[in-house]
Amino acid sequence: MNTAVMALQAMLRARGKTVVVVNGTFDAVTSNAMWAAWRAGDLNAADPTMVAARAEVCGAFGPNRSPGPWDGLAGQTILLGGKSLPLPPDVPLWVVPYNLHQLKHGLRQQTIVQAILHHDAAGSAEQCFRVLKARGLSTHFAVDDCGLVLQFLDPLVNVAWHAMGEVRREDGSSIEHGFNFRSIGIDLSNPVDPATAAGRADAGRELVTQKIHGRDLTRLDFYACQEEAGLALLKVLHARIPSLGTSYRPDAVWKGDLTRNTPGIFGHYHVAKGKIDPFGFPMNRLAEVAAGTW
């Protein structure tokens, strides 16, 4: 029984988050409430109850569940340049290594200037890993339904195979273009399509409508905790990798003018005209990354 998570849930309920059920499962409802309480200033990420819950949740991803390098620091660090660097102690961003370096990857030889966001169309971040491995693809990070971040590769060392797209030629035609060599790949777990088995099983997500490439699409949204964790991860990455650009585009449309050398944080739909990911992500909030505000 996850007693530390139950204590966190009880504390959240006591502070008015009555939607939280005290059952020991660190789910999206609990994480949504945790991030909301933290953002409102009602919860300190360094609170002993929070620290204990982090250790319990992240400690479950030990060597038996995730073979490979494991530093045992239970969500307190991020792997960059071969070093486990501390995460901000006052932010509820939890990152755990998961089957590190097991996905297809290359050697990083060029400076990082981009991050490209995706949804994984999967039921969980762990399922995302399995699908990527089977397809010979990869990403650096995956944000699970509960906002927990799984790290698959070291972005300063490894190139991930996550983003092909197109650029527009002078004559108006387009040509295939790879965006991997100077970018970080971040997947957010979301089945997206409510008609799939994973979509039907994920009853907690809301349906939202977004205009992508000029078409109105209605799909499953991200959980608030995933958005918060994704933004927090980007802030940490930008602070640690200053070459990572912070320009962004709020509209979900391919224009064909972005290349692998364009600094910024983009959706896959910005660089590939046939993609709709990351569906539902609030791109306008990327202004917070440039501002460095929490």
Q: Tell me the CATH number at 121.
A: 3.40.80.10
Q: Is it the case that residue 69 has pLDDT exceeding 70?
A: no
DSSP helix/strand/coil, 145: coil
- Can you tell me the mean pLDDT for 234-261? 97
In a domain, 256, yes or no: yes
State the pLDDT confidence band at 62, using cuts at 50, 70 and 90.
Answer: low
Helix (H) or strand (E) holding 239: helix 224-240
- What is residue 180's predicted lDDT score, i.e. its pLDDT? 98
Q: Taking 70 as the threshold, does the pLDDT of residue 28 lie above it?
A: yes
- Please tell me the least confidently modeled range out of 160-164, 170-174, 177-181: 170-174
Query: Do residues 128 and 222 both lie within one domain?
Result: yes
Are residues 39 and 92 located together in one domain of the fold? no
| Distance in angstroms (rounded) separating the CA atoms of residues 122 and 224 | 17
Asked if the bond preceding 278 is cis, omega within 30° of 0, the reply is yes
Asked whether 97 and 70 are in contact (CB, 8 A), the reply is yes
**Of 261 and 73, more confident:** 261
225 and 115 in a single domain? The answer is yes
Interval 86-105 mean pLDDT: 94
Whose tokens are 């509209």? That residue is 251
Q: Give a yes or no: residue 36 inside a domain.
A: yes
**Virtual torsion, Cα 208, 234, 270, 221, nearest 10 deg:** -10
pLDDT exceeds cutoff 60 at 133: yes
Mean pLDDT, residues 118-137: 96
> Number of structural domains, the chain?
2
Bridge partner residues of 78 (DSSP) = 85
Mean pLDDT across the stretch 143-152? 96
Q: What average pLDDT score do residues 250-272 get? A: 98
Q: Judge whether 65 lies within some domain.
A: no
The residue assigned the tokens 């039921």 is 123
Alpha carbon distances (Å) from 48 to 44, 54, 95, 202, 290: 9, 10, 18, 31, 31
**Do residue 171 and residue 238 come from a single domain?**
yes
| Residue 279: inside a domain | yes
Domain for residue 183, yes or no?
yes
For the segment 143-153, the average pLDDT, to the nearest whole number, is: 97
By mean pLDDT, which of 5-14, 65-74, 112-121 is the weakest? 65-74
Decide if 66 is inside a domain: no
Angle in degrees, CA 110, 181, 127, rounded to 5? 135
Q: Identify the band that residue 13 occupies on the pLDDT scale cut at 50, 70 and 90.
A: very high
Q: Which residue has the tokens 């979301």?
A: 190
Q: What is the pLDDT of residue 71?
A: 55
Contact 277, 191 (CB under 8 A): no
Q: Quick check: helix, strand or coil at residue 96?
A: strand
pLDDT of residue 67: 52
